[in-house]
A and B are shown apart, each in its own frame.
Chain A
């Protein structure tokens, strides 16, 4: 693999397989790595995720290994949730904030073994981790390039992985971890994902990556497994109502203008904030926010019609702008036109009459639409198999 000073975009450890499969040559980039937007067809890839199994190369995801005597205490001070409740062998979704209580990033924390953690993040944040480590006896290592990772998501994912030889995988609970022997090394499997469905993420050393890719597609052929690109994944995560740093909020350390950051409460992630666990970065600011009230509410909107409300203003009954859409898509499986939106308080209550101002073009003929929106409470896409253990066979 060429280093960054020789090439603008790095290859992931799965590059040989990915390049072979990427028929469209529709390349995007993700944190410095070449990554397919789509391999063959976005719709087919999306439907593989929902009806069969999709494989997504998530090696570029930022990964930090955190260990040492104070690892748990350090993470508890870094993250807003109580890390003590994430036992060894478990994974937790989490966010971390700056002093002002504005979200820096969201990610997943893997408790690999007692006191040994992996933090997966969207953004690079090694400097913030190091600053946060002042006063803690903790060892932090960026292992982004040292861990090859694939997400295998969809209803046939468990069966496909069992065909790969991962015996007993059906008993792995959501947000749990298990290690398997593979290719003379270790394959770590977590029942996690970014699609809101049954799915797994596979973690291994880069030297096993090629073998894993080939074996997985061989074993998964009967389960209609196929590689999926960024576009299909984005559609699936919007349908599942998951937010993404850089799309649905601006990471606090990238915000230039005052007031443009968002707190966990303002992103609908108040459930991740535990005031009872002791000090953590942003605690005082978030306590103040809880007393004074938040500035924004993050909502899922069911938008009338089938025109995605991407980048739309959200208006109230009198036509006043009360917010804007951060992510939007027509969601094929949920059969709804969904928008994730950030609204000024107090807007976004269940009965508020809201309208999305949508502009769309048909053969360069532009039309403006004020589509009625309804606030959706609860998840839009939440199949039972997502939570069932043992995972249902297909």
Chain B
């Protein structure tokens, strides 16, 4: 059965899907969003993982694009921050700590403090260029039209206006690894570890992996827009998802939950609508997929409907997650060795050095979990006590490395890795083990299942230069339009990639509108 036609159908109510739908609706189009789960937001979700304890998948808001937030009036639609400009505190587990706040760093000697200020200044300038590029549809390089030349000229101008010294430095470091860059500039191992972890969080990379600098710039892209440290959303990240949904609905978007799309319907090679798991169908001339690249093409469109070369590129898109999420319900507030009590609410990085991260990564290369994983920890209940019963706390940790294709499988490996994580935490916060009331470990296969994310990759796919900018996700689909006319990508698989920015959704909508109007 086919129901009433829409101007556009968006597959998936992740924040990008909702952003995309919102912009399309604001252009006067009738938009339907179909979501398999029963809540909006995708990874911007909050749920009860133990009785009375609530936690979010994505726990810190780093790079929400200010223009998107403004256009969709997210604050008007319920987005409230419980905390902003969090300090980042790196701990070595032996009592040492380094705290980073804007361009300032505490716990290092004067030389490192000066060097960090300079590094931060440059990062701001570099990410300003990057942020401008991220807010646009990437130009075509081969079949260039005037608008492509204009975009390239703008990029060239942005680079040139960095001045000779900074431009040279950006071109020098853009494709190399963060390990070398950090060692060139700093002495303090904890400071270097903090920078190194920022570069590889969410990626199948160690600090020594080529082009890990790009990962750092991507994470700090809002630095160039004057953004500070990460924010904590009041009510959990799910409230952000709700705000996106409310904003989209206010713009006239219709959202249907529990509606799993199983097929993108084609008519003479063009996207013509979608079919749901229950057999119902919807038609539209425009279909925008917030699903990841492989789900979109290998599952929903099907390889038989695509050219073999494109299928090869989709197949080769690196999207095997290495990041797990650990959630603990705690009886009290854990005490981290060396951490001032006022800093417990900060963003905590648990790793003593870049070598520690690199060694943890080595295991992932061979399909093993790190015996000594690195973590980004947040205790959201310090900002938002309502997330747990009175006096109790929630610890939320992004844990690396936990490869999607674990040798021996996750069924067998889960308990061992959970214990590994708890042991690691115990080393940083003695006594924490005794406080654990309940725990939840979401390995990449769990993320895959829970969030319909093939490969369970946090960013839908690796953030690396060969899968970024002009080449995200793959050549032939890097301008949101895909080889299937009428089908666009609008999720983290598309430029500029993952990380709750909303830009992929916004850019995709604007590009689709532009292309429809050009006809």
Contact = CB atoms under 8 A, between A and B. Distances in A.
A132 B306 CA distance: 10
Nearest to A127: B312
B269 interface: yes
Closest 9 A/B residue pairs (Cβ): A135-B303, A99-B309, A99-B307, A132-B308, A131-B312, A281-B307, A281-B308, A279-B305, A134-B303
Given A99-B308, A258-B142, A135 B269 contact: no
A284 interface: yes
Given A77-B304, A284-B269, A135 B309 contact: no
A226 interface: no
Contacts of B303: 134-136
A260 to B, nearest CB: 14
Interface in A85-136: 98-99, 128, 131-132, 134-136
Contacts of B431: none
B304 A136 contact: yes
Contacts of B312: 131, 134
12 contacts: A98-B309, A131-B312, A132-B308, A134-B298, A134-B308, A134-B315, A136-B304, A281-B309, A283-B269, A284-B307, A284-B485, A287-B269
B311 A134 contact: yes
A287 B307 CA distance: 13
Given A132-B308, A281-B309, A99 B476 contact: yes
A135 B483 contact: no
A319 B113 CA distance: 72
B28 to A, nearest CB: 29
A61 interface: no
SS class, residues of chain B in contact with chain A = helix
Interface in B349-384: none
A131 B310 CA distance: 10
A128 B311 CA distance: 11
B231 to A, nearest CB: 42
Contacts of B302: 135
A69 to B, nearest CB: 13
Interface string A262-288: 000000000000000001011111010
Interface residues of A, number: 19
Contact of B309 (A73, A131, A136): A131
A101 to B, nearest CB: 9
Interface string B21-45: 0000000000000000000000000
- Looking at A98, A99, A258, A287, the one whose CB has the most chain B CB atoms below 10 A away is A99
Given A78-B308, A279-B269, A285-B307, 17 more contacts: A98-B309, A99-B307, A99-B308, A99-B483, A128-B308, A131-B308, A131-B309, A131-B315, A134-B308, A134-B312, A135-B302, A281-B309, A282-B307, A283-B307, A284-B269, A284-B483, A284-B485
A281 B311 CA distance: 10
A136 to B, nearest CB: 7
Nearest to B483: A284
Contacts of B307: 98-99, 281-285
A285 B311 CA distance: 15
Contacts of A99: 307-310, 476, 483
Interface in A128-168: 128, 131-132, 134-136
Contacts of A135: 298, 302-304, 311
Contacts of B305: 279
Contacts of B310: 99
Contacts of A279: 269, 304-306
B488 to A, nearest CB: 16
A14 B307 CA distance: 39
Nearest to A100: B309
A281 B303 CA distance: 10
User: Which one of B302, B307, B312 has the highest number of Cβ atoms from chain A below 10 Å of its Cβ?
Assistant: B307
Contacts of A136: 303-304
A73 B303 CA distance: 12
A46 to B, nearest CB: 39
Select the residue from B142, B304, B315, B483 with max chain A CB neighbours within 10 A: B304
A132 B305 CA distance: 11
Contact of B311 (A73, A131, A282, A287): A131
Contacts of A281: 307-309
A295 to B, nearest CB: 14
A265 B273 CA distance: 32
B211 to A, nearest CB: 25
A99 B476 CA distance: 10
A281 B142 CA distance: 21
Contacts of B485: 284
B264 to A, nearest CB: 13
Interface in A29-63: none
A77 to B, nearest CB: 6
B55 to A, nearest CB: 37
Interface in B283-334: 298, 302-312, 315
A135 B304 CA distance: 7
